[in-house]
């Protein structure tokens, strides 16, 4: 067996976070500039040792030391089932991600997809994007409890999607390039914690939370139309509306709110938090001509962790 290297991108949710968990539509796109790399190489003169190295999270141990429900162990087990493998040869698995953890960029799903693809390639197991997505989704349950399925889908297929649970995935048709700046707030958050927080609110006061979720879902539908006909001003306006609804859900923070305000005061078409909230990233829709100025504005305000991308 030869050395194998596989990569998987990150993702951002443009519209629909939280509401997607309750069956409403959401829009997400891959971020190809940031990715996870998994390298697998055989260990010569070793016997059935599977060594896993993930320096980003301080992990360096044999597979045997991981609990069966650990996402890495779970993925390896599912790939073994897919390939009907009776045993694992000695190998070293090295995982490195350029995606920040707990920032709304799909770091967990990116790692899961890259690891599943690398294992399948290493063992010469034929696979489809859907099979990789399904494996990653099982690992996502360990990270997030009740994931929507959006992260593993957009990352496994590497395509922008209009996503709704229990319905076939619909691929986005984007009329023109959209310039996006992703800015890290510096506030760490827990996706699982924020999802559970909304769940508790929903269970306690569904009459208050359901209308907010319905409105977020409707915004996602309108945003799809704006993307497909090429209407950036409308798209930007919908982003601001979406952020206000996420504020009402209680998943924004004063820091994220200030960042949205800063963006809008400096020529952005739209801005909102992206992901579960409670910190992490916010996203800005810009004219291409204002990209440099907005980048500098946020850097001068202390927000130096930025990613520029184009959705097309």
How many CB atoms lie under 10 A from the CB of residue 60? 11
Residue 194 parent element (H or E): helix 191-204
Can you tell me the distance from the alpha carbon of 234 to that of 150, in angstroms, rounded to the nearest whole number?
A: 24
Parallel, antiparallel, or unpaired: how do β-strands 50-54 and 91-97 relate? parallel
Provide the β-strand partners of residue 31: 10
Q: How many CA atoms lie within 13 A of 294 on its CB side?
A: 30
**Cβ-contact 12, 180 below 8 angstroms:** yes
Burial of 244 (0-12, 13-18, 19+ CB in 10 A): middle
Number of H helices, E strands in the chain: 9, 11
107 closest CA partner among 51, 158, 155? 155
Q: Which of 49, 307, 279 is nearest to 179 (CA)?
A: 307
* Residues 194 and 277 sit within 8 Å (Cβ to Cβ): yes
DSSP H or E segment with residue 220: helix 206-229
Structure token pair of residue 296:
């500098």
Please, which residues have CB within 8 angstroms of residue 188's CB and are 6 or more apart in sequence? Answer: 102, 279, 280
| Active-site pick, 129, 151, 214, 257 | 151
First to last CA, the chain: 38
Q: Is 151 a catalytic residue?
A: yes
Residues 86, 87, 91: CA angle, nearest 5 degrees:
150
List residues with catalytic annotation: 151
């Amino acid at each position: 067996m030869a050395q194998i290297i596989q990569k998987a991108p990150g993702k951002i949710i443009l519209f629909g976070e939280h509401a997607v968990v309750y069956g409403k539509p959401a829009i997400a796109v891959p971020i190809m500039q940031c990715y996870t790399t998994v390298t697998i190489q055989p260990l010569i003169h070793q016997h059935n040792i599977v060594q896993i190295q993930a320096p980003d999270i301080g992990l360096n141990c044999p597979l045997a030391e991981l609990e069966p429900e650990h996402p890495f162990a779970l993925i390896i087990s599912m790939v073994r089932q897919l390939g009907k493998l009776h045993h694992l040869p000695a190998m070293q698995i090295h995982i490195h991600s350029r995606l920040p953890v707990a920032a709304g960029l799909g770091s967990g799903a990116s790692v899961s997809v890259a690891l599943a693809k690398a294992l399948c390639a290493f063992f010469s197991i034929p696979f489809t994007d859907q099979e990789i997505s399904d494996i990653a989704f099982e690992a996502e349950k360990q990270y997030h409890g009740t994931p929507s399925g959006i992260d593993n889908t957009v990352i496994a297929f590497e395509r922008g999607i209009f996503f709704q649970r229990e319905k076939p995935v619909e691929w986005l048709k984007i009329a023109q390039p959209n310039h996006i700046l992703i800015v890290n707030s510096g506030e760490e958050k827990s996706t699982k914690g924020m999802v559970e927080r909304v769940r508790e609110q929903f269970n306690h006061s569904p009459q208050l939370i359901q209308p907010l979720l319905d409105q977020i879902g409707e915004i996602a539908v309108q945003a799809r139309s704006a993307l497909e006909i090429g209407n950036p001003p409308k798209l930007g306006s919908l982003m601001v509306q979406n952020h206000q609804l996420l504020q009402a859900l209680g998943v924004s923070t004063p820091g994220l709110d200030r960042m949205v305000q800063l963006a809008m005061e400096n020529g952005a078409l739209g801005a909102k938090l992206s992901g579960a909230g409670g910190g992490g990233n916010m996203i800005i829709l810009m004219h291409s001509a204002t990209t440099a100025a907005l980048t500098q504005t946020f850097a001068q305000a202390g927000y130096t962790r930025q990613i520029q991308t184009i959705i097309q």
